[in-house]
Amino acid sequence: MVKAQSHDTYMPSAGWFPFTSRWSVLLLFATALLCGSVYAQTDRRDAEREDEQKQNRETPVLAGEAAIEVPVVDSVYIVGPGDMLTISIFATQYYNYTLPVHSDGTIVVPMIGKVDIRKSTLLEVRQLLRELLRREVRSGEILVSLYKPRKVKVTVSGAIRKPGVVILPATARVSEALDMTGGEIKDTTSLRNIVVRGPHGVRAIADLQRFYRIGDLDANPFVNSGDVIYFPKKDMSVGVFGAVNNSGWMDYKPGETLRSAIEVCQGLKAAAFLDSIEIVRFNPDHITTSSIHLSITNYDTNPNADIELQPKDLVLIREIPQFRRHDLIVIEGEVNYEGSYSILEGTTKLSDIIEQAGGFTADASLEEASITRRTDETERDKEFERLKQISPADMQEDEYEYFKARSRERVGQMVVNFKKLFLANDTTEDLYLRDGDYIEIPKLKNYIRVIGRVNNPGNIIFTDEWIFEDYITAAGGYGWRAEDGDVRVIKARTGELVDAEDYDDYSLEPGDTIWVPEEPEVKFWEIALEGLGVLSQIAGILGIVIAVSRIN
């Protein structure tokens, strides 16, 4: 028999239990209410979110309210239903009224009554209300202003990426309507022939390219409620190239003139040659062309200087040669006044600039002085460019020699002997300078540089009677594995490498470099393989000889 286990059970006192029970019930009830409220709010939010997502899925266009503030042009802005006007009267008493324009185009003004302001500009409304109020208020100032413009709904369509319906203030223009759709256009979108169609047909043609480039507000009209703004695709074009500030092709606009096309190109450059305007136009066969030449010297006053353009016209505006062009050179180094100098090509010589620069300093090295001329990209050596893509091991002997010679060449360096010109007065060395020339006068070096396989490479003071071996001795003599039979001298002025033992071909000068190369590394396996190859050939020959002798 299994006995039931007894447990000690805690029982609260009779006085405490009822009090605790009441509070527990209340707490549970409040918790239930709170949870129900939270669940209800969550369900409502989910339902609202689902409705919003459903609406977004079902709505193909975005109808948003433009967050823009556009200045009001009172002589252009048409007051209409939904506008809010403020009338402030400063007289013996101050009056301030904010009044709506009703759907029938009227406004009810205290002291006056109903006033019909349909199809009136803000300027006309202001003048009318002042005139009417002045009959009631003899003195003081009367101010009439637009407090809040009405909202208008317009449709933006055509060759843009996000067509749709947008809501804008009535002070907005076509460009703001495009911005509200995201402002994204296609490569094929025409910005010059934008059709603004109202309830009664086409009311304006917008030209946003003209507006964006020169700020012409007339090319960017206001929008009205119910407008449909249509962006067509590009079709025909005209081109303006040459001496204008923004050349290129643009959409053709019916009625386009030479003057308006130049305006869209942000005007003429100061160097424009006004006597030589050329318009290249297709003939009726649409294949051949002919040219129209005209002068627009009296561009602003001569009506004959303008001409209507046709689709595919090409306008060429040339520049006046050398118009206000400054030719500059730069001289640096050991002259008294370094810097940039203005020259006249074909007139200014090297000696003229050295004189303007205050002459040479005492430390100037005329031996190493140089002139570097800016080279044209068209002067690139195609053969050298080809050889740069080839490994030297794959080059022919003459190709490799040419490659080495071109590699050592100082691109753009002019051949001028400063010592002959300025010490011996040899005027045949007096070069005419050109725009962009760079003149460098290095500091005089009174040493010879010794590099390569010597025991103590470095700079050694120049001694006129010494030959290259004297400088190598001064540098500690030949080092380990020095190729003493292949010493080279690098001339400071030209960068040319000469054989140091060819005494008749050169003379050492301050700044020159003596280079002692290293003996090529002998690779055992290469020699062994070559030896084995020779032995195998000898063995083959001996085998043939023995075979022949046995036959005989």
pLDDT at 45 over 90: no
The topology under which CATH files domain 151-231 is Outer membrane lipoprotein wza fold like (3.10.560)
**Which residue has better confidence, 389 or 426?**
426
Q: Which of 31-40, 201-210, 395-404 has the highest mean predicted lDDT (pLDDT)?
A: 201-210
pLDDT tier at 382 (50, 70, 90 boundaries)?
A: confident
Could you give the dihedral angle defined by the CA atoms of residues 28, 32, 38 and 41, in that order, rounded to the nearest 10 degrees? -150
- pLDDT, tens digit, 9 for 90 and up, residues 184-206: 899 999 999 999 999 889 999 99
Beta strands in 324-473 (DSSP E): 327-333, 339-343, 370-372, 413-414, 438-441, 447-452, 458-461
pLDDT at residue 54 is higher than 50: no
What's the pLDDT tens digit per position in 257-277? 999 999 999 999 988 998 889
pLDDT value of residue 64:
46
**Two structure tokens written together for 436:** 């962009």
Span 447-516 CATH architecture: Roll (3.10)
Confidence band, pLDDT 50/70/90 cuts, at residue 20: very low
Q: In the numeric block, which tokens belong to residue 524?
A: 């055992």
For residue 325, what is the DSSP state? P
> For the chain, what are the domain ranges?
84-148, 151-231, 237-319, 327-441, 447-516
Identical fold for domains 237-319 and 327-441, yes or no, is yes
Question: Which residue has better confidence, 408 or 523?
Answer: 408
Give the pLDDT confidence score for residue 529 in this predicted structure: 74
For the residues 357-367, what does the mean pLDDT come to? 93
Residue 278 in contact with residue 293, Cβ under 8 Å?
A: yes
Q: Is pLDDT of 521 > 90?
A: no
C-alpha–C-alpha distance, residues 154 and 167, integer Å: 6
Question: What CA–CA distance (Å, rounded) separates 473 from 98?
Answer: 104
| Per-residue pLDDT at 49 exceeds 60 | no
Structure tokens at 264: 């869209």
- For residues 175 and 208, the answer to whether their CB atoms sit within 8 Å is yes
Nearest alpha carbon to residue 259 among 309, 294, 224, 217 = 309
What CATH topology corresponds to 237-319? Answer: Outer membrane lipoprotein wza fold like (3.10.560)
User: What is the model's pLDDT at position 66?
Assistant: 46
Lowest-confidence region among 67-76, 119-128, 175-184, 501-510: 67-76
Rounded Cα gap, residues 310 and 282, in angstroms: 9
Q: What pLDDT, in 10s, does the model give residues 134-156?
A: 888 888 899 999 999 999 999 99
Q: Is the dihedral of CA 479, 481, 485, 491 positive or negative?
A: negative
Instruction: State how far the Cα of 97 lies from the Cα of 412, in Å rounded to an integer.
Output: 80
pLDDT of residue 549: 78
What CA–CA distance (Å, rounded) separates 323 from 302? 25
pLDDT the model gives residue 524: 61
CA 15 to chain CA mean position, Å: 88
User: What does each C-alpha distance from 440 to 134, 337, 381, 408 come to in angstroms?
Assistant: 83, 12, 25, 19
Instruction: Report residue 414 CA to chain centroid gap.
Output: 35
CA angle 103, 165, 55 (to 5 degrees): 105
Q: Does residue 14 have a pLDDT over 80?
A: no
pLDDT grade for 543, boundaries at 50, 70 and 90 = confident
84-148 — its CATH code? 3.30.1950.10
Half-sphere exposure of 387 (CA within 13 A, CB side): 20
Q: What is the CATH number of domain 327-441?
A: 3.10.560.10
Q: How many residues does the chain have?
A: 552
Model confidence over 410-449: pLDDT tens digits?
A: 778 898 999 999 999 999 999 999 999 999 999 988 899 9
Which of the listed ranges 58-62, 181-185, 230-234, 406-410 does the model predict with the highest average pLDDT?
A: 230-234
Which pLDDT tens digit goes with each residue over 219-250?
999 998 899 999 999 999 999 999 999 999 99
| Partner residues linked to 451 by β-bridges | 515
Question: 67 or 266: whose pLDDT is higher?
Answer: 266
- Interatomic CA distance for residues 487 and 513, integer angstroms: 11
Residues 6+ apart with CB under 8 A from 6: none
Give SS3 for 21. Answer: helix
Residue 426 is predicted with a pLDDT of: 95
- State how far the alpha carbon of 409 is from the alpha carbons of 67, 153, 372, 390, 434, in Å: 65, 72, 12, 19, 21
Q: What is the mean pLDDT of residues 392-416?
A: 80
